[in-house]
C-alpha cells in the first residue's frame, strides 16, 4: 500500500501530526519510531521539573481544541479534571507530559513503535523508506520528526564517548543519578534549563554538602525570556516574518535571541536561590561553587578522575580542577539529516552554508520529485527560534497537513500576535 504520508520519528512533533491527521477521512498516514514505546527525554524527567509552556501547548489544542486527544481529555479519561482544576498549575510536570503523549500515541493506529527508518529514496512515483527491520515503507510524502541530538563541546567529546570516563551528557542524567549523588565531587557544565535542573537536583539530594560545582560560558546564570510580548516571537506571525528575511540576516539574528531558548526558567532560579539561602542560615556560606563566564578548554582522565582546564572569558584567566564526575548540560543540535536523505542528496536544494532550503509550509525544496519531504524541528535556520517550541507544534502540524491534503483541513488564523513584525511598506 502506498501511504499519503509516512513519518520518521515519534516525538511530540510527529505525534501532534498523527493526532491531527487521525480524523481526516481517507488519508493514509503511518508514523515510525525506533523506540519500543513513546518516551520523552527520559533521562531528564527529574522529579518536580515542569514543561516551559502552558498545558494548552499540548499535541492538538492550539490547532483544534475539539480534538479528543487534548490534554484536558487525557485528564478526563483518568478522572483527574477536578484535581487539575484545583491545582491551578498551567505548566504540567514533565513526567505528566510524557505520560499524556504516551496515552495519545496508544490511541493512534497510525503510530508504529520499534521500527527504525534507515534511508529515504525516490523511485518513479513514491518515496521508499528502508527500515532496519527489513520491510520498506512506500509513501507519496514524508515528514521527518527525528528531533535533536545531545551536543558536547569539543574538549569533552572524547570523554563522553569513553565508557571508562565519568563524563556524561545531561540527556543520561537519571541513569547516572545515584552515582552522581554519591560522588565526592561533581562539575555541571552549562547554564541552560537542563544545567539548572541537574544542579538543583544534586544540590537538594547529594549525600554530602561540598564538592558540587556549576560553570557556564554565559556571562550570567540568565533567566529565559518569558515576558508576554517577548513570547510573541513564538507565534506563527513571527515565523512568517523570520522566514521572509534573507539568509545572512536570519543567521545573524538567531544568536542574539539566545535568551528565548537558552536561559533558565525564573522559577528554577528562585528554587536554587532558596535552597542556597536555606543552607546559609546560621551564617555559613553553602559549600558549592557557581561561576558563569567560564569555559572548559581541556579535559583528560587522571587516575579515574577528570582533570578540567578552564578559562574565564572576561578575566582571560586560566585555572583547573579535578572532578569525580562531569555532567555536560551543554544542549542539543538538530539531528543531521544527511544519513536519512543520502539517496536524495542530488535532488536537495541547499543554501549558501549547505543547509536544506525549507519552504514556509516546512517542505524541503527538492528537484525532480513529485512528492514532498516535510521537516519538523530541523528548520531553525529558516523558521527561527520557534522551530523546537512545543507551543508551535500543533500549528505546524496543521500547516503540514493542509499542505499534504492540498486544502484547508484546519483553518489557521491569519493573525496570532499583537506585535506587528516588520514594516509594512504601505504604512505611512
Ligand X SMILES: Cc1cc2nc3c(=O)[nH]c(=O)nc-3n(C[C@H](O)[C@H](O)[C@H](O)COP(=O)(O)OP(=O)(O)OC[C@H]3O[C@@H](n4cnc5c(N)ncnc54)[C@H](O)[C@@H]3O)c2cc1C
Binding site for ligand X (CB under 6 A): 8-14, 32-35, 40-41, 44, 51-53, 116-117, 145-148, 194, 332, 376-377, 388-391
| 33 or 64: CB nearest ligand X | 33
| 104 or 308: CB nearest ligand X | 104
**Shortest distance, CB of residue 107 to ligand X, whole angstroms?**
18
Tell me how far apart the alpha carbons of residues 361 and 201 are, in angstroms, rounded to a whole number.
40
| 201 or 310: CB nearest ligand X | 201
- Nearest to 93, CA basis, from 48, 131, 138, 53: 48
Q: How many CA atoms lie within 13 A of 400 on its CB side?
A: 35
**Shortest distance, CB of residue 34 to ligand X, whole angstroms?**
4
Contact criterion met (CB below 8 Å) for 120 and 143: no
Provide the strand spans (E) within 264-350.
288-292, 294-302, 305-312, 317-323, 325-328, 332-334
**Shortest distance, CB of residue 73 to ligand X, whole angstroms?**
20
Task: State the pairing for strand pair 126-131/137-139.
Answer: antiparallel
Helices (H) and strands (E) in the chain, counts: 13, 18
Contact criterion met (CB below 8 Å) for 11 and 40: yes
Task: State the pairing for strand pair 288-292/294-302.
Answer: unpaired
CA distances from 281 to 276, 278, 284, 288 (A): 9, 6, 7, 15
**Shortest distance, CB of residue 337 to ligand X, whole angstroms?**
10
| 13 or 310: CB nearest ligand X | 13
Tell me how far apart the alpha carbons of residues 222 and 199 are, in angstroms, rounded to a whole number.
15
**Shortest distance, CB of residue 392 to ligand X, whole angstroms?**
8
| 118 or 419: CB nearest ligand X | 118
**Shortest distance, CB of residue 318 to ligand X, whole angstroms?**
31
CA distances from 220 to 126, 180, 193, 272 (A): 51, 25, 13, 14
What distance, in Å, lies between the first and last C-alpha atoms of the chain?
56
**Shortest distance, CB of residue 119 to ligand X, whole angstroms?**
9
| 5 or 308: CB nearest ligand X | 5
Tell me how far apart the alpha carbons of residues 147 and 40 are, in angstroms, rounded to a whole number.
11
| 306 or 340: CB nearest ligand X | 340
**Shortest distance, CB of residue 99 to ligand X, whole angstroms?**
15
| 52 or 141: CB nearest ligand X | 52
Amino acid at each position: 500500500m502506498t501511504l499519503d504520508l509516512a513519518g520518521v520519528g515519534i516525538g511530540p512533533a510527529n505525534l501532534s501530526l498523527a493526532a491531527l491527521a487521525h480524523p481526516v477521512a481517507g488519508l493514509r498516514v503511518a508514523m515510525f519510531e525506533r523506540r519500543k514505546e513513546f518516551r520523552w527525554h527520559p533521562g531528564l524527567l527529574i522529579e518536580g521539573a515542569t514543561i516551559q509552556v502552558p498545558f494548552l501547548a499540548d499535541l492538538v489544542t492550539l490547532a483544534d481544541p475539539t480534538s479528543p486527544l487534548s490534554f484536558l481529555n487525557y485528564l478526563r479519561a483518568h478522572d483527574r479534571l477536578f484535581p487539575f482544576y484545583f491545582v491551578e498549575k498551567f505548566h504540567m510536570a514533565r513526567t505528566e507530559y510524557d505520560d499524556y503523549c504516551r496515552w495519545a500515541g496508544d490511541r493512534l493506529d497510525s503510530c508504529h513503535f520499534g521500527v527504525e527508518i534507515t534511508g529515504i529514496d525516490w523511485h518513479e512515483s513514491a518515496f521508499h523508506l528502508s527500515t532496519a527491520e527489513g520491510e520498506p515503507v512506500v509513501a507519496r510524502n514524508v515528514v521527518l520528526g527525528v528531533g535533536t541530538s545531545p551536543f558536547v563541546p569539543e574538549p569533552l567529546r572524547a570523554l563522553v564517548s569513553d565508557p571508562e570516563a565519568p563524563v556524561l551528557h545531561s540527556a543520561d542524567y537519571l541513569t547516572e543519578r545515584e552515582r552522581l549523588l554519591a560522588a565526592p565531587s561533581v562539575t555541571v557544565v552549562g547554564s541552560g534549563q537542563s544545567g539548572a535542573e541537574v544542579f538543583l537536583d544534586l544540590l537538594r539530594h547529594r549525600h554530602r554538602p561540598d564538592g558540587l560545582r556549576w560553570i557556564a560560558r554565559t556571562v550570567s546564570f540568565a533567566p529565559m525570556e518569558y515576558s508576554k510580548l517577548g513570547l510573541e516571537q513564538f507565534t506563527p506571525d513571527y515565523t512568517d516574518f523570520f522566514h521572509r528575511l534573507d539568509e545572512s540576516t536570519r543567521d545573524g539574528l538567531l544568536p542574539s535571541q539566545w535568551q528565548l531558548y537558552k536561559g533558565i526558567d525564573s522559577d528554577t532560579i528562585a528554587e536554587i536561590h532558596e535552597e542556597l539561602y536555606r543552607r546559609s542560615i546560621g551564617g555559613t556560606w553553602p559549600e558549592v561553587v557557581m561561576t558563569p563566564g567560564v569555559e572548559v578548554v581541556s579535559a583528560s582522565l587522571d587516575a579515574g578522575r577528570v582533570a578540567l582546564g578552564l578559562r574565564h572569558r572576561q578575566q582571560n584567566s586560566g585555572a583547573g580542577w579535578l572532578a569525580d564526575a562531569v555532567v555536560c548540560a551543554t544542549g542539543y543540535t538538530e539531528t543531521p539529516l544527511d544519513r536519512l536523505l543520502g539517496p536524495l542528496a542530488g535532488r536537495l536544494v541547499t543554501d549558501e552554508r549547505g543547509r536544506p532550503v525549507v519552504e514556509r509550509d516546512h517542505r524541503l525544496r527538492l528537484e525532480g520529485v513529485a512528492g514532498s519531504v516535510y521537516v519538523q524541528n530541523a528548520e531553525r535556520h529558516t523558521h527561527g527560534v520557534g522551530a523546537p517550541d512545543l507551543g508551535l507544534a500543533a500549528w505546524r502540524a496543521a500547516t503540514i497537513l493542509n499542505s499534504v491534503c492540498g486544502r484547508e483541513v484546519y483553518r489557521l488564523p491569519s493573525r496570532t500576535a499583537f506585535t506587528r513584525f516588520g514594516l509594512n511598506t504601505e504604512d505611512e
